[in-house]
Structure 1
Amino acid sequence: MATVSVLQMNSGATWAENKAKVEALFAQLPAARPQLVLLPEAFSCFGAGEANIRQHAEPLGQGPVQEYLSALAKQHNVWVLAGTLPILSGTRYAAASLLFNAQGAQCARYDKLHLFDAAVADNTKQYRESRYTQPGSQVRVVDTPFGRLGMAICYDVRFPELFRQLRTEGAELISLPSAFTKVTGKAHWDILIRARAIENQVYMLAPNQWGEHADGRETWGHSMIVDPWGVVVAQQSSGEGIASATLDMKALEAVRANMPVLAHNRFEVRFIHE
């Protein structure tokens, strides 16, 4: 059995303040190893204004944030899923989720496929992520010591076809680093995450941002780990903190054997690459 921990943050507009928050949370991790630690979406820079985020963007494999995460994984002997950070993509940036192994090597990258362009009845009102962000074009599933990991980000959760494709490609657990708004989170966060877990018989690992941020945005928190039966096995409801759980892969296998939904499925998902 392996341990997973999802970190809930109230990220600010600068890497310096967020780095201190990450360090404080890592100091509180459970002692169990091996361990997969997941940071939320936009953990390194949040609330700076979408137009200003590009100045914080790094080339893939270079820059202070990536170097720090590599060293942090090695120092604590844990795998780290870096929620999202801006990675340069031409004249724009990608919202990239990077996975580092316990030796500090980057071993997977997923760029957010579905960008949040929506109207929400909150302080921000209009979200237009596509103005500055380059959408991803590939589905990502990677082998880890914790099981086969499918990678998704925040708004992706509203597109069940993506999660069915991840399951088809062998995902046993799916990461969902997020910055869900308080309004949409209160209405849909729990329902959507549990639904994706139940439909695909996977562990859902969902670290979220929480609280009010520098630009007035409010995020929902309630970071959670949900098992393949849809049970919330760990949750950090409010405040910054950690929710941890042990993955029971034998229980996952039993759920799939008793109700083989993938074998029973009569529909095919066709992913269109750009």
Structure 2
Amino acid sequence: MKKFNIASCQMNVVDDKEINVNHAIELINEASNNADLITLPEMFNTPYDNDKFIENAEEEKNSYTLKAMCETAKENNIFLQSGSIAELENEKIYNTAYFIDNNGKIIGKHRKMHMFDIDTDTMKFTESETLSPGNTITTLKTPLANISIAICYDVRFNEMWTLMNKNNSDIILLPGAFNKTTGPLHWETLIRARAIDNQAYVIATSPSQVENPYYVAWGHSMVVDPWGKILAKAEKKEEIIYATLMPESINSVREQIPILKNKREDIYETILKK
């Protein structure tokens, strides 16, 4: 990993794909003046709604959204984690996060592995009615760092993060859209815990908290260092946050608290017999 600047774009998402994509380009253009890597939110081009996923799903090879993102990354000479979009392949829809290099080339993607099927006192949402899960841990070796990607609900499954840790991840990017029920209690706690557990930077990028008839995101995008310290944090409204990521921070934490060396892999798979 090398020292570089990152920007997380917490953006307003409306019910119009073209407006969302053009607005994302505006934010990327602004952030590119101060960042080498820019991130966008989960489902940044559509409201978070099963019917809208179907309406706005795109095949990768013909994607209006991805074409615009690749061109923008190249024009600004930046690396771009373009949030996530509804990806259509073989009649299945995936919640997919793409990573684009500074030449405008897609160099990797992550399909959300865990479906957000919940039923609380205040809301019910069943992603699996529309979306299919991915099955692959995503870690990319880039000129900036070893970068892994997870999406929103993936943050709750530490087994997945252990595998990203084994891939020697320096940074984990998390486009996500927690809601106003789980967000106040769990969003910051989980993000900081995952940074501490994995001794890596975690950058979580959410849509802003826009009232709409579909799904209201919590916002509060943040950049957390390997100590669990919040380096930058947005509030509810649209905002770009910035931070400088340094390899020294990772090295220091891993030397002082050698979790990888102290792990007991010999007992973790022990099966208790009756």
Same fold per superposition (TM over 0.5): yes
How do 1:31-46 and structure 2 match up within 5 A?
31-32=33-34, 35-46=36-47
Letter aligned with residue 165 of structure 2: R
Q: Within 2, Cα distance between the matches of 1:73 and 1:259? A: 37
How do 1:18-97 and structure 2 match up within 5 A?
18-29=20-31, 31-32=33-34, 35-47=36-48, 49-97=49-97
Task: Call closer, same or farther: CA 1:193–1:50 in 2, change over 3 Å.
Answer: same
How do 1:1-274 and structure 2 match up within 5 A?
1-29=3-31, 31-32=33-34, 35-47=36-48, 49-122=49-122, 125-267=123-265
Letter aligned with residue 62 of structure 2: Q
Letter aligned with residue 96 of structure 2: A
Instruction: Between 167-176 and 14-23, report the one with greater CA deviation.
Output: 14-23
TM-score, reference length from structure 1: 0.92
TM-score, reference length from structure 2: 0.92
Q: Within 2, Cα distance between the matches of 1:132 and 1:216? A: 15
SS at match of 1:188: helix
Q: Within 2, Cα distance between the matches of 1:27 and 1:69? A: 11
- Give, in angstroms, the shift of residue 75 of structure 1: 1.1
Task: Call closer, same or farther: CA 1:259–1:31 in 2, change over 3 Å.
Answer: same
SS at match of 2:47: coil
Match of 2:272 in 1: none
Q: Within 2, Cα distance between the matches of 1:91 and 1:10? A: 29
How many pairs align?
266
Letter aligned with residue 94 of structure 2: A
Q: Within 2, Cα distance between the matches of 1:120 and 1:177? A: 22
Q: Within 2, Cα distance between the matches of 1:261 and 1:90? A: 42
- Give, in angstroms, the shift of residue 30 of structure 1: 5.3
- Give, in angstroms, the shift of residue 213 of structure 1: 4.4
Letter aligned with residue 192 of structure 1: L
Alpha-carbon deviations, 1:141-170, whole Å to 9, x = none? Answer: 001122100110000010011111101011
Letter aligned with residue 39 of structure 1: L
Q: Within 1, Cα distance between the matches of 2:91 and 2:130? A: 9
Instruction: Between 147-156 and 10-19, report the one with greater CA deviation.
Output: 10-19
Structure 1: gaps spanning 5 or more residues: none
- Give, in angstroms, the shift of residue 214 of structure 1: 3.3
Letter aligned with residue 180 of structure 1: F
- Give, in angstroms, the shift of residue 216 of structure 1: 4.0
- Give, in angstroms, the shift of residue 91 of structure 1: 2.1
Q: Within 2, Cα distance between the matches of 1:86 and 1:187? A: 27
RMSD: 1.6
Q: Tell me, yes or no, if the aligned pair for 1:6 and 1:38 is still in contact at 8 Å.
A: yes
Letter aligned with residue 41 of structure 2: P
Q: Within 1, Cα distance between the matches of 2:120 and 2:205? A: 21
Alpha-carbon deviations, 1:1-44, whole Å to 9, x = none? Answer: 201111102211221221232133123215245x1111000001
Q: Within 2, Cα distance between the matches of 1:126 and 1:40? A: 21
Q: Within 1, Cα distance between the matches of 2:263 and 2:225? A: 21
Alpha-carbon deviations, 1:58-107, whole Å to 9, x = none? Answer: 11232210100000101111111011101113222010000000000000
Q: Tell me, yes or no, if the aligned pair for 2:32 and 2:76 is still in contact at 8 Å.
A: no
Query: Share of identical aligned residues, percent?
Result: 30
